[in-house]
Amino acid sequence: MVWMPSTALAPAAVGLPILAGRAVLMPLDHLAVLQAGGADATDFLHGQLSNDLVGLAPDQSLLAGYCNAKGRLYGALRLWRAGDDCLAWLAADTAEAVLKRLSMFIMRSKVTLTLRDDLALLGLAGVGANDCLIRVGLPAPEDENTLGQHGPVTVLRLPGPTPRFALCLPQGQAQAIWDALVIDAAPATGAMWRLLDIDAGLPTVYAPTLEAFVPQMVNLERVGGVSFRKGCYPGQEIVARMHYLGKPSRRMFRLRAAGSAPPPGTPVLDQDEREVGTVVDAQAADGGYRALAVLQINAIEAALHLAGARPVERLTLPYALEDEAAVHS
């Protein structure tokens, strides 16, 4: 069972606590935690994922993609060490599929894979988030992609323009930690975290887009999610070929539009009603919504819209794409 706080939660569209200088506290119920244990856990994941797990330090986390043989993503996971084991979060609606597929390749490896339903994830973001953590005796890592530990509670610092932390802890302690933090932080739904991911340009693979994207399409290598120096993994040849021999024809961009937020997998259309992109995620904001969408690069200057003639506006990302010069030339 997914833990949820007893506090009433404001919808993501409110968004004002961050703008008003107050931290926001969120249950991350859209995510699930996967554990890889056993003597071969690190080597196994290193051979399955797009990033370097062998070089992952105990005080760091990283992003990695899990691809099929054609280089299409089953998931974009954030991983960190827990003693000799590895933990990762990923979209809850894909967790069973990822677990099942990974389990197919264990063979003789000394690895156990488990969905940790006994763990909860909380998100804390905004001005004052650091102080909230320190006040309740929890670490507040200063650098992006680092983490701190206090007993069974792990605090991870996330990248992005807004100070942001994720807490992974036993469900039995989640309500007490929530009650302590919510004294100084405004409670909101997990949709707020998804909106912050959108603003940070960080992709999540949800069930409707399973096997839809190669890592470069969702900018995974631009946010540290792909190592081109490690050994083989499923789909590695396709990912490497795109990196060394060509440029992606599709990239992920940040958008804004009026109306209600469309679900992942919604097509993006050009003025001739041709499908030129796919929504990665979209969340309510500013009286409309903001979104990440994978778009054909040769179509991004066109007048784009979703079904129902809802026009979209392209926003900046907090990082550069190597082909942006070509996009604007």
69-105 confidence digits (pLDDT tens): 999 999 999 999 999 999 999 999 999 999 999 999 9
Does the pLDDT value for residue 323 go beyond 70? no
Fold of 24-190: Gyrase A; domain 2 (3.30.1360)
Average pLDDT over residues 146-162: 95
Tell me the CA distances in angstroms from 217 to 107, 130, 133, one per residue in order: 31, 33, 35
pLDDT for res 232: 92
HEC per residue, the chain: CCCCCCCCCECCCCCHHHHCCCEEEEECCCEEEEEEECCCHHHHHHHHECCCCCCCCCCEEEEEEEECCCCCEEEEEEEEEECCEEEEEEEHHHHHHHHHHHHCCCCCCCCEEEECCCEEEEEEECCCHHHHHHHCCCCCCCCCCEEEEECCEEEEEECCCCCEEEEEEEHHHHHHHHHHHCCCEEEECCHHHHHHHHHHCCCCCCHHHCCCCCHHHHCHHHHCCCCCCCCCCCCHHHHHHHHHHCCCCEEEEEEEEECCCCCCCCEEECCCCCEEEEEEEEEEECCEEEEEEEEEHHHCCCCCEECCCEEEEEECCCCCCCCHHHHHC
Entry pTM: 0.94
Assign 18 a pLDDT band (cuts: 50, 70, 90).
low
Q: Where are the domains of the chain?
A: 24-190, 207-328
Does the pLDDT value for residue 173 go beyond 90? yes
pLDDT for res 11: 62
CA dihedral sign, ordered 95, 81, 1, 261: negative
Does the pLDDT value for residue 177 go beyond 70? yes
Pick the CATH number of 207-328 from 3.90.1150.10, 2.40.30.10, 2.40.30.160, 3.40.1710.10: 2.40.30.160
Contacts for 210 with CB less than 8 Å, ≥ 6 apart: 73, 74, 94, 97
Q: pLDDT over 70 for what percent of the chain?
A: 94
pLDDT for res 10: 63
Cα gap 185→130, rounded to integer Å: 11
Mean pLDDT is lowest, of 95-109, 142-156, 180-194, 309-323, for 309-323
Average pLDDT over residues 167-194: 94
Assign 178 a pLDDT band (cuts: 50, 70, 90).
very high
Does the pLDDT value for residue 9 go beyond 90? no
pLDDT for res 324: 45
Q: What is the pLDDT of residues 26-72, one digit of tens each?
A: 999 999 999 999 999 999 999 999 999 999 999 999 999 999 999 99
Strands 267-269, 61-67: pairing kind: unpaired
pLDDT for res 92: 98
Q: What is the pLDDT of residues 291-303, one digit of tens each?
A: 999 999 999 999 9
Of the candidates 143, 148, 173, the one whose C-alpha atom is nearest the C-alpha of residue 159 is 143
Higher-scoring residue by pLDDT: 4, 174: 174
HSE-up of 104 (CA within 13 Å, CB side)?
8
Cα gap 186→184, rounded to integer Å: 7
Separation of CA 287 from chain center: 24
